[in-house]
């Protein structure tokens, strides 16, 4: 009455193929969530950031222009400078957030920095408007 020897499996001596363990799904970061938004929504995000940049630099450009360079021949210049700043921010946002047709932009550090910069611009504009530091009222010079 002895013990029965253990049965060996039929594939004894043959290594089993490597099967990676299933990893838990990784939650996408905020940058990845923004990049997963529809293309039109990403365009609007870039446009809002560009508009907030243009609104933020407008009083600075206007005051500097009025104090140093005012001439009736160049009164369109401050608007062009402000619009140029807005366009530069929009082009950067387009490249980082929207990309070209058929391309899905990658979550790069530059994209994260642009989103932080854009949200900071937006918050700053809202604060300046809420506390009355930014208005479209002309400055009265005495």
| Segment 114-133, tens digit of pLDDT | 999 999 999 999 998 888 77
SS3 (DSSP) at 22: coil
Q: What's the sign of the alpha-carbon dihedral 4, 10, 16, 19? A: negative
In the three-class reduction of DSSP (H, G, I as helix; E, B as strand; rest coil), residue 24 is classed as coil
What tens digit of pLDDT does each residue of 3-47 get? 766 665 565 566 666 666 666 677 888 889 999 999 999 999 999
Give the integer Cα–Cα distance in Å for 139 and 62: 10
Could you tell me which residues come within 8 angstroms of residue 93 by beta carbon, excluding any fewer than 6 positions away? 45, 46, 47, 49, 50, 114, 118
């Amino acid at each position: 009455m002895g013990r029965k020897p253990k049965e060996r499996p039929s594939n004894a001596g043959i290594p089993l193929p490597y099967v990676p363990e299933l990893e838990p799904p990784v939650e996408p970061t905020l940058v990845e969530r923004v990049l997963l938004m529809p293309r039109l929504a990403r365009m609007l995000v870039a446009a809002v950031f560009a508009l907030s940049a243009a609104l933020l630099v407008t009083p600075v450009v206007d005051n500097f222009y009025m104090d140093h360079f005012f001439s009736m021949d160049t009164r369109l210049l401050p608007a062009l400078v402000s619009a140029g700043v807005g366009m530069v921010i929009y082009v950067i946002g387009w490249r980082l957030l929207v990309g070209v047709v058929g391309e899905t932009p990658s979550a790069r550090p530059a994209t994260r920095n642009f989103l932080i910069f854009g949200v900071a611009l937006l918050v700053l504009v809202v604060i300046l408007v809420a506390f009355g530091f930014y208005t479209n009222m002309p400055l009265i010079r005495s």
